[in-house]
Amino acid sequence: MKGNVKNAGKEGYGMAKIAAGLLILLALCAGMAHAETMPQGGNGTANAVSITAGSYSGGALVSGTDQYYVIRGIRGGQELSVTGVFQPSSQTYSTLVRINVLDSMGAQLINDEQIAPNRVAVAWLPDSENSTYDYYIEISNTGIWDIGSQTLEIAVRNSYDANSSTDAGDVFEKALLIGSGNYGGYLSGASGTDTRDMYKVANYTAGTPLYVNVTPPIGASMTITFYDANRQILKQESAANTGAIVVDAVNVTQNGDVYVEIACDEWCSNAPVSYSFSVLKKVPEAGGAPAVGGIMLPFEWNQTTTLICCGIAIVLLLLVLIIIFFFRRKREFEAYGEYGMGDAGAPTTIIGYKHPCRYCDKLVDQGAKVCPFCGKVSPLGPLRCPKCRSPVTREQKVCSACGLALRIMCPFCGKATFFGDYCDKCDKRLLVICPNCLKEQPPIGEKCMKCGKNMGKPTTQKVIK
């Protein structure tokens, strides 16, 4: 009986693969009528073939071969996306296909590798440090079977900030001027160098609270930072969890420009994100509502307000007592459910339960990015490659996705360690700082991940610029 079920499952899976292949083939046939003929690429960056945004269809790609193309004139704030669908020459066997995006020096920026005919897609969003960028696109058949046909979609989308025609800079000198209103913006996350947008509210009046509301997409955790005219931090607020709306206000104490930084780096999102934000100048009126904690209240505080707040406080206190009561009743059951149920093959993460931190074994909430007890990052989930963020294990010597060596010498104690978040010997965070742009990053190469310059001997001490 078990064998029949197993065979039936294999047959069903095979039929599903055939159906998926037919659907993709139909989609390719439908799109080929509108696609340009894909030119034959070069065999390296030196003879890469120039290409522009558009839809292309091409022929065979022999196993073990590469095609190189170059796209020029990408502006800061323009998102480059490359999507390919590759049909194996054999209907029986599949193969691996990879798309790489390289910078103008030929260094790899981002890649995606899939089993054909699955969709292969990469995206890259640069900052405004340079006026334009040139990128190489490498298409590689890394499998052992040939590709019979291929389609390629190259798109360049304007991802400009604050309803403008440019990218908000990531330094004070390139901050984008804004006023009160509603805006939209874009940040790269791990897929680009546009990780910070700096905005300037000019000639702000002292004593006027400034409110900012940032709405990120689901899955991203963003941060707001306020700076005064002297470029000193006034306040910083991070999202409580992924997808959380960040609302913050700061009471400006001196006249002059106010800067607002909205950030989403490689720890915030793996892909480019779009966000919306609003800016409000709250001007205090004569004889108006008093300020509490330096922030102007939007209502008048009186006896009725006091009674309402007292009533709300009593209700909240009762709710807290009820929750504590039920929590105590359930605690023993939860402890048993987390450690005493299931077998060794069960999933390690159970929705609704807390889980032990990989470093200190204290129970932390699911989805926590930092352990509240030991303060270390990534306390839960799989270990990830510092370069491509693919899941890895301590038994691996190299990352199976990008090939990065997972055994390094610690930049602090000089001893061999697994390339995780912390050194196995001295327990320090495995991060170094580029002496050129001050970008904090894992020690994965001689060139900086952000500015691309040779780091020489990177520092391990944070430098305040």
CB neighbours of residue 431 within 10 Å: 16
**Contact present, 72 and 134 (Cβ < 8 Å):** yes
Residue 450 tokens, joined? 């952000």
Diameter over CA atoms, the chain: 83
319 phi and psi, to 5 degrees?
A: -60, -40
Among candidate residues 72, 84, 136, the one with its CA nearest the CA of residue 115: 84
Q: Which amino acid is at 171?
A: V
Exposure on the CB side of residue 421, measured as CA atoms within 13 A = 16
> Rounded CA gap, 211 and 180, in Å?
9
pLDDT at residue number 435: 85
The angle subtended at Cα 337 by Cα 335 and Cα 342, nearest 5°, is 135
Of 83, 243, 271, 73, the closest CA to residue 186 belongs to: 271
What span, in angstroms and rounded, lies between the C-alpha atoms of 68 and 45?
A: 6
Query: Residue 98 has what pLDDT?
Result: 95
From CA 299, how far away is CA 292, in angstroms rounded? Answer: 11
Residue 136 is predicted with a pLDDT of 97
Task: Give residue for tokens 């037919």.
Answer: 22
Please give the helix or strand (H or E) that residue 308 lies within, else none.
Answer: helix 303-339
Q: What is the bridge-based pairing of β-strands 66-75 and 132-141?
A: antiparallel
What residues does each domain of the chain span? 7-158, 172-301, 304-346
Question: What is the reported pLDDT for 34?
Answer: 58
Residues forming beta bridges with residue 395, ordered by sequence position: none
One fold for 7-158 and 172-301: yes
Q: What is the C-alpha to C-alpha distance for residues 40 and 48, in angstroms, rounded to an integer? A: 10
10 Å Cβ neighbour count for 219? 13
Sequence-distant (≥ 6) Cβ neighbours of residue 372 within 8 angstroms: 364
Measured CA to CA, the distance from residue 169 to residue 158 in angstroms comes to 15
Which two structure tokens, joined as six digits, stand for 318?
A: 């009762």
d(Cα 26, Cα 202) in Å, to the nearest integer? 55
Q: How far apart are CA 201 and CA 178, in angstroms?
A: 6
Per the listing, tokens 């998926």 go with: 20
Q: What is the DSSP string of 210-228?
A: EEEEEEPPTT---EEEEE-
Q: Which two tokens stand for residue 121?
A: 């897609």
pLDDT for res 456? 73
Per the rule left: phi > 0, alpha: psi between -120 and 50, beta: everything else, 36 is beta
CA within 13 Å, CB half, 378: 14
Residue carrying the six token digits 């103008």: 104
Q: Are 197 and 172 in contact (CB under 8 A)?
A: no
- Rounded-to-integer distance, Cα 102 and Cα 140, Å: 13
Amino acid at 380: L
Amino acid at 166: T
Phi, psi of 426 (to 5 degrees): -100, -5
- What's the one-letter identity of residue 272? P
pLDDT in tens, the chain (465 residues): 434 434 444 444 444 445 455 455 455 444 444 578 999 999 999 999 999 999 999 989 999 999 999 999 999 999 999 999 999 988 777 889 999 999 999 999 999 999 988 999 999 999 999 989 999 999 999 888 899 999 999 999 999 999 899 999 999 999 999 988 899 999 999 999 999 999 999 988 888 788 888 988 888 888 999 999 899 998 888 888 888 888 778 888 888 899 999 999 878 888 999 999 998 876 434 444 444 333 444 444 455 667 788 889 899 998 998 888 877 766 544 444 433 333 333 344 444 578 899 899 999 988 888 999 999 998 988 888 988 888 999 999 999 988 889 999 998 898 999 988 899 999 999 888 888 888 888 888 888 888 888 877 665 544 333
Residues in contact with 393: Cβ distance below 8 Å, sequence separation at least 6, in sequence order = 382, 383
**DSSP-derived secondary structure letter, 422:** B
Per-residue model confidence (pLDDT) at position 352: 55
Judged by DSSP in three states, 292 sits in strand
Continuous segment of H or E residues that includes residue 4: helix 2-32
The CATH architecture of the domain made up of 172-301 is Sandwich (2.60)
At 9, list the tokens.
Answer: 């499952």
Q: Which two tokens stand for residue 320?
A: 């807290």
Q: How far is CA 148 from the centre of its chain?
A: 34
Question: Architecture of domain 7-158 in CATH?
Answer: Sandwich (2.60)
